[in-house]
Amino acid sequence: MGEIKAAKPVKAFCAILFRDKETLDVSLSLLEKKFGKTDVKSEIFLFNFSDYYCAEMGEGLKKIFVSFEQPIVPDNACEWKIFTNEIEKKFSVFPDRPSRRINIDPGYLRLSNVVLLTTKDYSHRIYLGKGIYAEITLIWKQGKFEFLPWTYPDYRTELALNFFENVRRNLKDKIA
């Protein structure tokens, strides 16, 4: 029988899709109150990988990846997605229909992979509880992150892969 052990610390991150910088800045402030100070940030980039969000959020969307300084144990990771959904609702234009001004997808990085948290069930996702699922979207193999068949296009970019490699180095330095 295997011995039950505590999970190792991970680096929490958020992928934030937004239209205006003011909403991003206020949302980042709320995220830092929950997760602590940010440490690694990607460049802000134009989100032109899909028009999935355009009907709700409009055109000209931008995205940024941010990670949080202190490694944490992901025992309550499903609460992270519930929290980010509350921020999204706070910035919705209309409380009774989809009208987000920001979309925040939390996740965490382990030395071996990148895990996204989502409310959407699918064949490659595992139910965590409270309506939240987890998806491994990148794996660390032979010294680099590799994507999987379901990895979103924006996570396949050089910008994203560099971001996650920087976050991984940071985590490795902190837990070594």
Whether the CB-CB separation of 151 and 128 falls below 8 Å is answered with: no
Of the chain, the percentage scoring pLDDT greater than 90 comes to 90
Q: What is the mean pLDDT of residues 14-31?
A: 97
Domain boundaries, the chain: 11-175
pLDDT digits (tens, 9 = 90+) for 123-170: 999 999 999 999 999 999 999 999 999 999 999 999 999 999 999 999
**Residue 112 reports pLDDT greater than 90:** yes
Neighbours of 170 (CB within 10 A): 17
**Residue 176 reports pLDDT greater than 80:** no
Beta strand extents in 22-170 (DSSP E only):
38-41, 45-46, 62-68, 102-109, 113-118, 126-129, 132-141, 144-147
**Residue 96 reports pLDDT greater than 90:** no
- For the chain, the average pLDDT equals 95
**Residue 95 reports pLDDT greater than 80:** no
**Residue 29 reports pLDDT greater than 90:** yes
Of 23-37, 55-69, 86-100, 124-138, least confident by mean pLDDT is 86-100
| pLDDT at res. 3 | 95
**Residue 93 reports pLDDT greater than 80:** yes
| pLDDT at res. 133 | 98
Query: Can you tell me the distance from the alpha carbon of 176 to that of 163, in angstroms, rounded to the nearest whole number?
Result: 20
SS3 of 107-149: EEECCCEEEEEECCCCCCCEEEECCEEEEEEEEEECCEEEECC
**Residue 86 reports pLDDT greater than 80:** yes
Q: How confident is the model at residue 98 (pLDDT cuts 50, 70, 90)?
A: confident
The CA radius of gyration of the chain, in Å to the nearest whole number, is 16
| pLDDT at res. 94 | 80
Residue 46 half-sphere exposure toward CB, CA atoms < 13 A: 3
